Amino acid sequence: MKLSYDAVSESIGYVLILGIVLSGSAIVGLYGYPLIEEKKQDLIINILIHEMTRVTSDMNDLTETREPVVYEEFHVEEGSLFLEDSGADIGTFFLWQGGKMIFSYHPGALHYLSNTEGNEVIIENGACIERKSAEPFTMVLQPRAYYDTAKKALVLPMIRLLSEDMRTTSGYGRIILKLNGTPSLYEFSNSPDKVTVSYSGPAEHDTSQCWKDYFQYSLRMKEYPRGFARDDAEKVILLLYTLTVARG
């Protein structure tokens, strides 16, 4: 019987092709799917950052326009959105003068926590703050505090968030923002001792470094033992707003 080398070569070819296909499938399963999932999570968190930045901007606008803002289909995917307005899990702003605390304020926070560990977005006191993959927090949208040169005053709007019925939500939902009443105004003289501002956040999601950077670099405040102050300010003005976040 004569051996057909053509048939043998063809069989070997099939085996090699099958081996390549199986190896390729294994490589895709080992490296490709996790990479695809990682890119998917990055896309989801980037979309949420964009949406939460828009909400933060609307909150700041609401303190001026006073018109309720309605989101017909706010999408929360691969995680949950909840409001922290009391308890130990919220940050606190402090005002100090002459070594004594003269004012404290708990603004509350609208918090998106991803199912992927380390991804979260926080709206707090007119700022939008995010972090990815457990990296340090970054302030992607700043509050609208400013220095009034005519009055020589540091003006600090404070936005407190309250909730009627939105402790936790996910998926698609209707969200309403509305301003409660008129702002409360507090004025503090910057003499004889300087008024300093500080922030303290919860250990699980401490955004204090973001606020320190904001005070120092954006508001040009100088750091003192009890916080930050504007040396050229004669007074500090607080404007306290209360916003309600509700599901429609």
Predicted local distance difference test score (pLDDT) of residue 42: 75
Statement: residue 11 has pLDDT above 70: no
208, 227 Cβ separation under 8 angstroms: no
**pLDDT tens track for 143-162:** 999 999 999 999 999 999 98
Percentage of the chain modeled with pLDDT above 90: 47
Predicted local distance difference test score (pLDDT) of residue 185: 96
The DSSP code for 99 is T
Mean of per-residue pLDDT scores for the chain: 84
The string of DSSP codes covering 57-85 is HHHHHHHHH---EEEEEEEEEEEEEEEE-
Among the residue ranges 30-39, 76-85, 93-102, 160-169, the one predicted with the least confidence is 30-39
Q: How confident is the model at residue 215 (pLDDT cuts 50, 70, 90)?
A: very high
Nearest to 48 by CA among 127, 148, 117, 119: 119
Predicted local distance difference test score (pLDDT) of residue 14: 57
Which residues, other chains included, contact 232 with Cβ-Cβ below 8 Å and sequence gap of 6+?
A: 147, 152
Statement: residue 18 has pLDDT above 70: no
Span 115-143, average pLDDT: 90
Long-range own/partner contacts, residues 132-140 (CB < 8 A, 24 or more apart) = 132/42, 132/45, 136/209, 137/205, 137/206, 137/207, 137/209, 137/210, 138/210, 139/207, 139/210, 139/213, 139/214, 140/49, 140/53
65, 58 Cβ separation under 8 angstroms: no
3-state secondary structure of 136: coil
Statement: residue 200 has pLDDT above 90: yes
Statement: residue 5 has pLDDT above 60: no
Among the residue ranges 51-55, 131-135, 213-217, 234-238, the one predicted with the least confidence is 131-135
Span 48-69, average pLDDT: 88
